Chains A and B, each alone.
Chain A
Amino acid sequence: MADIRLENISKRFNNDIALNDVNIEVKDKEFFIIFGPAGAGKTTLLNVIAGIHMPNHGAVYLQDQYINHVEPEDRNIAMVFEDYALYPHLSVFDNIASPLRSPRYKKPEPEIKKEVERVAEILNIEWLLERSPDQLSNGQRQRVGLGRALVREPNVYLMDEPITHLDAKLRHQMRAELKEMQKSLDTTTIYVTHDYLEALSLGDRIAVINEGQIMQVGTPEEVYFFPENEFVAGSFGEPEINIFEGDIMTSEQVDFSPFFGQSAFGFLPKEKQQVLGNKGLQTIRIGLRPKDIHFQFEPVNSKEYIKGKVFSFEPLGAKAVLTVEINGKYIRITMKYNEDISINQDVYIKIDLNTAIYFDELGNNLLSQFSAKRRGMAWQN
Chain B
Amino acid sequence: MKRNKIIEFFKDLALFLYALFALFPLVWLVIISFKHDRDMFTTTFIFNPTLENYKIIFSDGSFIGYFIDNLIVSSGAIALSVIVGVPAAYALARFNFKGRETIAFTFLSFRFAPEIFVVLPIFLIYQQIGLYDTYFGLIWVFQVLSLPLMIWILRGYFEDISVEMEHAARMDGYTWWQVFLKMIMPLIKPGLVASALLSLIFVWNNFTFSLLLAGQDVMTTTVAMVGYLSSDTVHYGQMAAAVLISALPIIILALAIQKHLVRGLSMGAVKG
The segment from A78-86, A195-203, A284-292 found at the interface with B is A78-86
User: How far is it, in angstroms, between the C-alpha of A82 and the C-alpha of B165 when the chains are bound?
Assistant: 11
The residues of B that contact A134 with a CB separation of less than 8 Å are 271-272
- A103 in complex: contacting residue of B171, B174, B187, CB < 8 Å: B174
- A79 in complex: contacting residue of B165, B168, B183, CB < 8 Å: B168
Chain A, residues 70-100, CB within 8 Å of chain B (1/0): the string is 0111000111011111111100000000110
The answer to whether A81 and B270 have CB atoms under 8 Å apart is no
Question: Main SS of chain A's interface residues?
Answer: loop
Residues A38-96 near B (CB distance < 8 A): 47, 50-52, 71-73, 77-79, 81-89
The answer to whether B173 and A103 have CB atoms under 8 Å apart is yes
Judge if A279 is at the interface, Cβ distance under 8 Å.
Answer: no
Chain B, residues 257-272, CB within 8 Å of chain A (1/0): the string is 0000000000001111
The residues of B that contact A84 with a CB separation of less than 8 Å are 164
The answer to whether B174 and A87 have CB atoms under 8 Å apart is no
Judge if A148 is at the interface, Cβ distance under 8 Å.
Answer: yes
The answer to whether B168 and A102 have CB atoms under 8 Å apart is no
The answer to whether B170 and A72 have CB atoms under 8 Å apart is yes
The answer to whether A85 and B173 have CB atoms under 8 Å apart is no
Judge if B162 is at the interface, Cβ distance under 8 Å.
Answer: yes
The answer to whether A81 and B272 have CB atoms under 8 Å apart is no
Which of A52, A88, A99, A148 counts the most B-chain CB atoms under 10 A from its CB?
Answer: A88
User: How far is it, in angstroms, between the C-alpha of A73 and the C-alpha of B183 when the chains are bound?
Assistant: 15
Judge if A297 is at the interface, Cβ distance under 8 Å.
Answer: no
Residue of B nearest to A79 (CB): B171
Judge if A104 is at the interface, Cβ distance under 8 Å.
Answer: yes
Judge if A225 is at the interface, Cβ distance under 8 Å.
Answer: no
The answer to whether B165 and A78 have CB atoms under 8 Å apart is no
Residue of B nearest to A99 (CB): B172
Residue of B nearest to A141 (CB): B272
Judge if B178 is at the interface, Cβ distance under 8 Å.
Answer: yes
Given A85-B162, A88-B269, A103-B178: A98 in contact with B171 (beta carbons within 8 A): no
The residues of B that contact A79 with a CB separation of less than 8 Å are 167-168, 171
Residue of B nearest to A134 (CB): B272
The residues of A that contact B271 with a CB separation of less than 8 Å are 134
The answer to whether B173 and A99 have CB atoms under 8 Å apart is yes
The answer to whether A148 and B168 have CB atoms under 8 Å apart is yes
Residues B150-189 near A (CB distance < 8 A): 162, 164-165, 167-175, 178, 183, 186-187
User: How far is it, in angstroms, between the C-alpha of A89 and the C-alpha of B172 when the chains are bound?
Assistant: 16
The answer to whether B175 and A71 have CB atoms under 8 Å apart is yes
- B167 in complex: contacting residue of A85, A86, A88, A148, CB < 8 Å: A85
User: How far is it, in angstroms, between the C-alpha of A242 and the C-alpha of B32 when the chains are bound?
Assistant: 92
Given A72-B171, A99-B172, A103-B178: A81 in contact with B187 (beta carbons within 8 A): no
Residue of B nearest to A13 (CB): B96
Residue of A nearest to B166 (CB): A85
* CB of A187, distance to nearest CB on chain B (Å): 15
The answer to whether A71 and B170 have CB atoms under 8 Å apart is yes
The answer to whether B172 and A148 have CB atoms under 8 Å apart is yes
The answer to whether A104 and B167 have CB atoms under 8 Å apart is no
The answer to whether A73 and B170 have CB atoms under 8 Å apart is yes
Given A99-B172, A103-B178: A72 in contact with B167 (beta carbons within 8 A): yes
Given A134-B271, A134-B272: A85 in contact with B168 (beta carbons within 8 A): yes
The answer to whether B175 and A73 have CB atoms under 8 Å apart is yes
The residues of A that contact B173 with a CB separation of less than 8 Å are 73, 99, 102-105
User: How far is it, in angstroms, between the C-alpha of A50 and the C-alpha of B166 when the chains are bound?
Assistant: 13
The answer to whether A81 and B175 have CB atoms under 8 Å apart is no
Given A88-B269, A134-B271, A134-B272: A77 in contact with B164 (beta carbons within 8 A): no
Residue of B nearest to A98 (CB): B172
The residues of A that contact B178 with a CB separation of less than 8 Å are 102-103
* CB of A105, distance to nearest CB on chain B (Å): 5
The answer to whether B164 and A85 have CB atoms under 8 Å apart is yes
Residues B198-236 near A (CB distance < 8 A): none
* CB of A322, distance to nearest CB on chain B (Å): 43
Which of B164, B175, B272 counts the most A-chain CB atoms under 10 A from its CB?
Answer: B164
- B164 in complex: contacting residue of A78, A81, A103, A105, CB < 8 Å: A81
Q: List residues of chain A with CB under 8 Å of any chain B CB.
A: 47, 50-52, 71-73, 77-79, 81-89, 98-99, 102-105, 134, 145, 148
- Give 20 CB contacts A-B under 8 Å: A51-B170, A52-B167, A73-B172, A73-B175, A78-B171, A81-B168, A85-B162, A85-B165, A85-B167, A87-B168, A87-B183, A88-B187, A88-B269, A88-B270, A89-B183, A102-B174, A103-B175, A105-B173, A145-B168, A148-B168
Q: Which 5 A-B pairs have the closest CB atoms?
A: A104-B173, A102-B173, A85-B164, A85-B168, A99-B172
Q: Besides A85-B164, A85-B165, 4 other CB < 8 A contacts?
A: A47-B167, A84-B164, A87-B169, A88-B269
